[in-house]
């Protein structure tokens, strides 16, 4: 790519040299022919001092005229091929400065393909497109955060107002206080996830890699949800291969497992099944978290890792749509890979691949 660019610049230099060479040859030739013509034949004056002076003046006037003509031509060229594209770029930049990220500049396609304006315009349009995408994400993020904050705050406000009533029974007062506590936890989780996601996206969290047993971490994270699966009567199936070591940030990966387990249990109906498997495939450790829940449609699967996206609105009150966005970002940071397979009404399977510790890969090969 760089070689092609250098070659095009070289060809442009050759064309420019050839154009100026022909122009100067034409000007000088015209001047010399005019000088000789005036010197030899004008008014039948031959090689006299007066004839030479007349020929010289006429040639000088001709040089002035040709210089003026070249100046006009250059001014027209600059007007059409320099000032016009520069004006377009400036106008586009001013629109961007005013916050209009839909601004785009039409390619100029000048005769001189080596002037670089189309390259600048292309870069400008791509920059505007990126800024437009960032602005859309920012606007959507603020709108979604505002909506997610309003819901628990409204619940807390309503139940707080009702708690002030003197006619409440003890049972009602306990239920209202419990609702306030649950919504407070939800609000705290939302703010925590927003802060975590912001730090991850701005790369303010740097993975602290260490070697540890992945199977043990999965078992510990899964046990943290024991009360949840017992309350819903969900059957837990595990198939964890022993001595599978990875070299990664255990705190970041615990976010992945906790969110995947939480989602699997949340979307699985009472009496359903959640399974967790850990296998090795070559240099990778493969973790699969499957459930027999409601599943997701192919369209939902395309957006499942986007912030605040919730495919199943019936469970919207149980989360804030940030969990899988966190999962995707963490997996990207640690150099892993995550995919999802799902069918509506039959459940979902999330597969996470992480590179095993180098020592373990060499030991098994």
Mean pLDDT throughout 160-181? Answer: 86
d(Cα 124, Cα 144) in Å, to the nearest integer?
Answer: 30
pLDDT at 314: 42
Range of the domain at 282: 211-363
Mean pLDDT throughout 48-62? Answer: 63
303 shares its domain with 194: no
264 shares its domain with 348: yes
25 shares its domain with 166: no
* Closest residue by Cα to residue 298 from 356, 255, 264, 341: 341
150 shares its domain with 271: no
Which of 93-107, 271-285, 332-346 is most confident?
A: 271-285
For residue 123, tell me if it sits in a domain. Answer: no
Angstrom distances, CA of residue 342 to CA of 287, 304, 311, 330, 351: 16, 11, 12, 22, 11
59 shares its domain with 161: no
Last residue of a domain, one of 201, 223, 258: 201
235 shares its domain with 315: yes
Could you tell me the pLDDT band of residue 316, with boundaries at 50, 70 and 90?
Answer: very low
pLDDT tens digits along 246-275: 998 888 788 889 889 988 998 899 999 999
For residue 120, tell me if it sits in a domain. Answer: no
Please determine, for residue 141, whether its predicted confidence score (pLDDT) is greater than 90: no
236 shares its domain with 358: yes
pLDDT tens digits along 205-239: 566 788 999 999 999 989 888 888 998 999 999 99
pLDDT at 43: 46
* Closest residue by Cα to residue 327 from 274, 259, 250, 277: 259
248 shares its domain with 108: no
Q: Which of 119-128, 245-254, 294-303, 330-339 has the lowest mean pLDDT?
A: 294-303
What's the whole-model pTM score? 0.52
- CA geometry: angle 178, 179, 180, nearest 5 deg: 90
Instruction: Count other C-beta atoms under 10 Å from residue 358's C-beta.
Output: 12
47 shares its domain with 188: no
291 shares its domain with 180: no
**SS3 category, 281:** strand
d(Cα 337, Cα 331) in Å, to the nearest integer?
Answer: 6
**SS3 category, 7:** helix
* Closest residue by Cα to residue 308 from 138, 131, 140, 135: 140
Helices (H), 79-225: 84-97, 117-163, 170-201, 214-223
Per the structure, the count of domains in the chain is 3
Could you tell me the pLDDT band of residue 142, with boundaries at 50, 70 and 90?
Answer: low
């Amino acid at each position: 790519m760089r070689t092609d660019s250098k070659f095009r610049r070289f060809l442009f230099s050759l064309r420019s040299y050839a154009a100026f060479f022909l122009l100067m040859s034409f000007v000088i030739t015209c001047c010399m022919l005019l000088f000789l013509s005036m010197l030899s034949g004008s008014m039948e004056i031959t090689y006299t001092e007066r004839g030479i002076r007349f020929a010289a003046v006429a040639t000088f006037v001709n040089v002035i005229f040709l210089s003026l003509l070249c100046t006009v031509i250059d001014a027209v060229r600059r007007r059409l091929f320099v000032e016009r594209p520069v004006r377009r770029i400036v106008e586009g930049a001013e629109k961007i400065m005013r916050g209009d990220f839909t601004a785009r500049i039409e390619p100029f396609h000048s005769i001189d393909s080596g002037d670089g304006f189309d390259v600048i315009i292309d870069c400008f349009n791509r920059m505007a497109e990126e800024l437009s995408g960032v602005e859309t994400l920012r606007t959507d993020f603020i709108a979604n955060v505002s909506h997610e904050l309003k819901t628990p705050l409204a619940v807390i406000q309503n139940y707080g107002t009702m708690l002030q009533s003197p006619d409440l029974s003890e049972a009602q007062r306990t239920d209202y206080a419990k609702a306030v506590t649950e919504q407070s936890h939800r609000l705290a989780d939302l703010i925590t996830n927003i802060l975590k996601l912001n730090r991850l996206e701005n790369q303010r969290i740097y993975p602290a890699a260490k070697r540890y047993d992945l199977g043990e971490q999965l078992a510990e994270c899964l046990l943290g949800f024991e009360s949840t699966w017992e309350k819903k009567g969900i059957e837990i199936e595990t198939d964890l291969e022993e001595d599978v070591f990875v070299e990664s940030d255990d705190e970041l990966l615990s976010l992945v497992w906790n969110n995947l387990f939480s989602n699997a249990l949340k979307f699985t109906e009472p009496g359903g099944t959640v399974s967790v498997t850990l296998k090795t495939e070559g240099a990778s450790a493969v973790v699969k978290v499957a459930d027999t829940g409601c599943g997701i449609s192919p369209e939902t699967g395309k957006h499942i890792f986007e912030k605040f996206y919730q495919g199943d609105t019936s469970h919207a009150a149980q989360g804030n749509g940030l969990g899988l966005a966190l999962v995707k970002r963490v997996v990207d940071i640690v150099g892993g890979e995550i995919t999802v397979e799902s069918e509506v009404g039959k459940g979902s399977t999330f597969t996470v691949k992480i590179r095993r510790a180098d020592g373990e890969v060499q030991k098994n090969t």
